[in-house]
Amino acid sequence: MSTSATECIFCKIVSGEIPAPHLASNADAIAIADISPVAPTHYLILPRRHEANAIALHRSEPEAMTAIFALVDTLITQSGLSDYRLIFNTGEEAGQSVFHAHLHLIAGRPLSWPPG
Ligand code: AMP
Ligand code: ZN
């Protein structure tokens, strides 16, 4: 599945066309709260660049992955989190519904393993 950047909801959040408070940001990525949280803490870290998934982003702009993880560092430090899960859903079968790469940061309750 692919979505053009002009139709992409996360591109619209990055550009500000759809308002969403930035919890943290840097030159290549922003962090927002997930609109439908699955745990007490559920953040999304979005690269500013539109790529369909994490590996496409890694291939086209590897420094954006560093920028994403820098925001994870900021968020866990700000929130005092030591126990959390980081997830890049990739492909519909793996649960991806927005085809603009994004990292889920989930915490605040016991998280089962293996995932469903
Ligand atoms: P995924 O299923 O991995 O593609 O994750 C997409 C995530 O984006 C879901 O957890 C949605 O709840 C979240 N989401 C969709 N639209 C918005 C929005 N406008 N603001 C914040 N989060 C959103
Ligand atoms: Zn996009």
Peptide bond into 114 cis (omega under 30): yes
- Please state the domain count of the chain: 1
Residue nearest to atom 12 of ligand 1 (CA): 36
Instruction: Judge whether 114 lies within some domain.
Output: no
Full domain range(s) for residue 26: 9-107
pTM higher than 0.85 for the full model? yes
Q: Is there an atom of ligand 1 within 6 Å of 61 CB?
A: no
CATH of the domain at 62: 3.30.428.10
Q: What is the pLDDT of residues 54-84, one digit of tens each?
A: 999 999 999 999 999 999 999 999 999 999 9
- pLDDT tens for each residue of 84-108: 999 999 999 999 999 999 999 999 9
User: Which residue in 50, 100, 102, 104 is the catalytic one?
Assistant: 102
* CA dist list (Å): 22 to 13, 16, 47, 113: 9, 10, 13, 30
Decide if 112 is inside a domain: no
Averaged confidence pLDDT in the chain? 97
